Amino acid sequence: MEHESSILYAPFNTLWHSVQHRFAWDVPDHVIMALLVLAISCVLFPLMSRRISRENPSHFQQLLELVVGGLRDLLRDIIGHEGDRHLYIIGGFAVFIFLSNIFALFFFLQPPTSNPNTTFGLALCAFVYYNYQGIKTQGIVHYLKHFMGPMPILAPLMIPIEIIGHLARILSLGMRLFGNIFGEHAATGIFMGMLPFVLPWPMMGLGIFGAFLQTFVFIMLTMVYIGGATVVEEH
């Protein structure tokens, strides 16, 4: 069954084809929605940053400080005192994924995270980042030694297992986020179509909880992967 498009799909592609005539293909809907998330973030946070005040913080500022403080505490608990330097990438994941998930609450929008291209792109970014940080922290030789197992004799067996295990993290992160958001969005659309005046509010509450939960799971696993890659064993 073909997935419905957002309200911006047709006008965006009409504008796209009017400004260029070289490419005949349409811009996918999940790309348009991802660009909308980026535009909202680029407008909302700079505007709100102008209202930051130490003497009289707004409700949004208090909420933002609570979220940032919670992320920092999680990073320190999982990674250690060096966790603060990963706050930007984790915060970026959290904002993008949560806003994308929230789009599922609006019938005229489509959550970018309900498309596997988006979720696997996020998973691939997390995969590249934690491996890069592992190599940067430990050095490429010491980092790759972890793939060989505790004894050199086990290397022919452990190296394929470790490689498969690390690649499986991309599948795990991407499929978990995609499956949950796509399923929640599809179920919400079905139930709202059956009982439009009874279920919207309870389903919206469930959707907000699901958006938060899936965001938390993604960033938590990413923190664990970063912590595992950057830990330096003392001998």
Is the CA virtual torsion 219, 220, 223, 224 positive or negative? negative
What amino acid occupies position 75? Answer: L
- Token digits of residue 29: 């809907």
Given phi > 0 = left and psi -120 to 50 = alpha, else beta, which region is 122?
Answer: alpha
- Across the range 54-78, mean pLDDT stands at 87
When the pLDDT of each residue in the chain is averaged and rounded to a whole number, the result is: 87
**159 Cβ contact partners less than 8 Å away, ≥ 6 residues apart:** 147, 148, 149
- pTM summary value: 0.89
Binning pLDDT at 50, 70 and 90, where does residue 234 land? very low
pLDDT(19) > 90: no
**What pLDDT, on a 0 to 100 scale, did the predictor assign at position 235?**
35
**pLDDT computed for residue 124 by the predictor:** 97
| pLDDT, tens digit (0-9, with 9 covering 90-100), for 24-63 | 889 999 999 999 999 999 998 888 777 777 778 778 788 8
User: Which residue, 215, 178, 216, 186, is CA-closest to 203?
Assistant: 186
- The predicted pLDDT at position 93 comes to 97
Position 45 scores a pLDDT of 83
DSSP conformation letters of 74-140:
HHHHHT-GGGGGGHHHHHHHHHHHHHHHHGGG-TT---GGGSHHHHHHHHHHHHHHHHHHHHHHH-H
**What pLDDT sits at residue 231?**
79
pLDDT exceeds 90 at position 196? no
Task: Check residues 184 and 70 and name the one with the higher pLDDT.
Answer: 70
Segment 145-193, tens digit of pLDDT: 888 877 888 888 899 999 999 999 999 999 999 999 988 877 776 666 6
